């Protein structure tokens, strides 16, 4: 038995009948229409059914677009704008494609078109009379999920939502393997595996991916190298740096929707200075020249892994190693100073605005 909810989370059967005249549980939209004429009617001109959007139930967590956020997903700026545009289309009488529904225990339940359903409910709650259409899915859950993946006529699926659909197809609905899904989706198996990791990420990282702030593969790279908390911290810091640059009129990377874009270059290791690289190579050469001749007669197969070996080293080689060590310390210190300057720039960008606000408050007082 699925958990269902209507617009006001009330008992889903309180406004309509979910059984036929003979007492059987309704299984088709036609049967539902016949016993609920005030709520559902045929719409032959659209090859669909007219239905009251407030009685269409939602299965919590079913919509993979929600990324595990539930109703909070529909409050995201880009999603809220999308829903508003659909709502205005309903209010203006424009044609909006029917949602796809199934009948669960006699209850009409949305499967595709959650944003359209939210938009229609908003329009109705504002007192508008709208034409809300639906059609019953005539396919199994696997084919319906694949249609969701490949349909994308409205807001495009985010990588997180795609990953959630992949998980459902393989782990929940069954009947598909990684290999068969990869073939059907024209992706590498490794790509399928990576995307299946996305739904398990913290909500903040999923929001960044959804909004186009950062690519999903870079997020996974950050998580693998830094951990989830540090990955979030890194992206936040880079967004602050980018915003500060943008505020100064500097051109910064942006995604196709205009959002600031954090790129993989922000985590690349600093370039090794030529001087340090040369010193490191020379020191390794000197070590090889001194160590291996001393070890040529040693049978390492008779040694335990924790066995200690005594070797000698020249003062010249020791001095070279100390020089390399000092150079590494200098490079690391320089990199730290560079990062500190970046951080201070971000603070400098925000401080004048804060000071101006304080002056405004003092004047107003």
Read off the pLDDT of each residue in 252-273 and give the average, rounded to a whole number. 76
* Exposure class string for 337-353: b at 16+ Cβ within 10 A, else e: eeeeeeeeebeebeeee
Query: What integer pLDDT is reported at residue 340 of this predicted model?
Result: 63
Measured CA angle at 235 (ends 233, 238), to 5 deg: 110
Query: What integer pLDDT is reported at residue 50 of this predicted model?
Result: 96
Residues β-bridged to residue 241: none
Give 328's pLDDT tier (boundaries 50, 70, 90): confident
Condensed to tens digits (0 to 9), the pLDDT of residues 76-114 reads 998 999 999 999 999 999 999 999 999 999 999 999 999
C-beta of residue 6 within 8 angstroms of C-beta of residue 55: yes
- Single pTM value for the model: 0.66
Give 256's pLDDT tier (boundaries 50, 70, 90): confident
Give 350's pLDDT tier (boundaries 50, 70, 90): very low
DSSP 99-130: EEEEEETTEEEEEE-HHHHHHHHHHHHTT---
Residue 167 has pLDDT above 60, yes or no: yes
DSSP 15-75: SS--B-TTSPBP-SHHHHHHH-TTTEEEEGGGTEEEE-GGG-BB-TT--GGGTT-GGGGGG
**Which of 167-176, 205-214, 334-343, 346-355 tops mean pLDDT?**
205-214
Please tell me the distance from the alpha carbon of residue 172 to that of residue 168, in angstroms, as a whole number: 5
Query: What integer pLDDT is reported at residue 255 of this predicted model?
Result: 83
The helix, strand and coil proportions of the chain, stated in percent and rounded to the nearest 5, come to: 60, 10, 35
Compute how many other C-beta atoms are within 10 angstroms of the C-beta atom of residue 274. 8
Residue 358 has pLDDT above 70, yes or no: no
Residue 216 has pLDDT above 60, yes or no: yes
Look over the chain and give the mean of its residue pLDDT values, rounded to a whole number. 83
Read off the pLDDT of each residue in 344-348 and give the average, rounded to a whole number. 49
* Least trusted range by pLDDT, from 36-40, 239-243, 274-278: 274-278
Condensed to tens digits (0 to 9), the pLDDT of residues 330-345 reads 877 777 677 666 655 5
Condensed to tens digits (0 to 9), the pLDDT of residues 282-300 reads 888 888 888 888 887 777 7
């Amino acid at each position: 038995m699925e958990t269902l909810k209507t617009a006001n989370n009330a008992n889903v059967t309180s406004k309509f009948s979910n059984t036929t005249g003979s007492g059987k549980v309704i299984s088709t939209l036609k049967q539902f229409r016949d016993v609920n004429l005030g709520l559902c009617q045929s719409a032959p001109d659209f090859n669909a059914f007219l239905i009251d959007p407030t009685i269409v139930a939602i299965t919590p967590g079913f919509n993979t677009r929600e990324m595990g956020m539930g109703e909070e997903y529909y409050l995201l700026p880009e999603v809220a704008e999308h829903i508003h545009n659909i709502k205005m289309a309903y209010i203006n009488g424009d044609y909006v494609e029917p949602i796809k529904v199934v009948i669960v225990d006699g209850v009409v339940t949305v499967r595709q078109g959650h944003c359209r359903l939210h938009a229609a409910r908003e329009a109705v709650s504002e007192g508008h009379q709208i034409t809300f259409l639906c059609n019953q899915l005539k396919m199994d859950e696997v084919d319906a999920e694949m249609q969701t993946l490949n349909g994308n006529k409205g807001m495009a699926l985010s990588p997180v939502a795609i990953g959630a659909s992949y998980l459902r197809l393989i782990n929940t609905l069954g009947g598909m393997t990684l290999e068969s899904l990869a073939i059907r989706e024209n992706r590498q198996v490794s790509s399928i595996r990576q995307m299946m990791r996305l739904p398990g990420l913290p909500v903040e990282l999923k929001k960044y991916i959804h909004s186009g702030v950062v690519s999903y593969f870079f997020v996974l790279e950050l998580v693998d190298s830094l951990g989830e908390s540090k990955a979030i911290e890194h992206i936040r810091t880079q967004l602050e740096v980018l915003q500060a640059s943008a505020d100064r009129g500097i051109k910064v990377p942006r995604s196709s929707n205009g959002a600031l874009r954090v790129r993989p270059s922000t985590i690349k290791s600093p370039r090794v200075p030529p001087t340090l690289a040369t010193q490191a190579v020379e020191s390794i050469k000197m070590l090889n020249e001194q160590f291996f001749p001393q070890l040529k007669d040693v049978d390492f197969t008779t040694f335990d892994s924790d066995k200690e070996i005594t070797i000698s080293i020249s003062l010249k080689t020791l001095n070279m190693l100390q020089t390399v060590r000092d150079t590494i310390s200098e490079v690391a210190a320089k990199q730290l100073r560079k990062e500190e300057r970046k951080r201070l720039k971000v603070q400098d960008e925000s401080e004048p605005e804060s000071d101006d606000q304080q002056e405004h408050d003092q004047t107003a007082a």
